[in-house]
Amino acid sequence: MYLGLRQVCIAVRDLEPAIRTLSTLFDVECCLRDDLHVARHGLRNAVVPFGSSFIELIAPAREGTAVGRYLEHAGGDRGYMLILETDDFDGWKDHLAAVDAVVVRESADGSYHFRQIHPKSVGGVLLSIDADGTPGDGCWLPAGPNWKSCARTARVSGIGGVQLQSPAPHRLAVRWGQVLDRAVKKTAEARSIELSDATDIAFGPGPSDAGEFMTKVKLRGVNVGACLAAATTLGLKVTNDSIDALGMRFDLEARHGRAENAL
């Protein structure tokens, strides 16, 4: 079954500054804000296209929300949910039950279907396996009907993957491999799961007392130099081709190496 990375959700304490940070760093634009379905849960959100994938920023609008509790647990802004896209929504139901993955919420709205899996069933992050028509046809309800008009790719052209951090990354990788029915690729540096759209989910080591979190997003860079310059202007930490922002590390991969890094 097809399985691709479609959306990364980052929980933030304050939505407006987070939107400005993403926009300044990567020259991107929101395609949807304050979705009514999200507002019902006491939350605010903003969805931003990165190529044909998306980063969603989500923030509590009142006390007592699950996102608010997560921010307290994480100690600040942090990756909250990973949304994967499939071409066979019904086909995953029996498999998830067979691997004891607990589904906490499932619903449909027209052609869009989602199935959210409890973080304790996978580790590291809330996982959702969604479907909206045929992958790659442009439909994606969480981004609204007009997201393509907001897609800007002068600096980044898409999302290449994410990394989850754990004191026991091997164990976490094995569990994700079971849930996603994918092989775990082992290298000297890390373990990873390759998805159908040439993206991957990597698993890296973290401090024994730090818990399990999504800590990195890999972006496909077009003009990496412009992103790094913007980060410096904002006073953010820059390490080689990586930027620390919104509780995450954004790793920028130039399509053809550093030759494309010039401003």
Report residue 259's pLDDT band, with 50, 70 and 90 as the boundaries: very low
Q: What is the DSSP string of 9-69?
A: EEE-S-HHHHHHHHHHHH----SEES-HHHHTTTEEEEEEEETTEEEEEEEESSTT-HHHH
Distance CA 122, CA 37 (A): 25
**If we measure between CA atoms, which residue out of 160, 73, 159 comes closest to residue 124?**
73
Residue 255: predicted pLDDT: 65
Which tens digits make up the pLDDT trace of 71-118? 999 999 999 999 999 999 999 999 999 999 999 999 999 999 999 999
CA distance 160 to 251: 9
Residue with the bigger pLDDT between 1 and 21: it is: 21
Residue for token digits 């006491």? 42
Task: Quick: pLDDT tens for 189-234.
Answer: 789 999 999 999 999 998 888 889 999 999 999 999 999 999 999 9
The least confident of 44-53, 69-78, 190-199, 248-257 is: 248-257
Chain mean pLDDT for the chain: 94
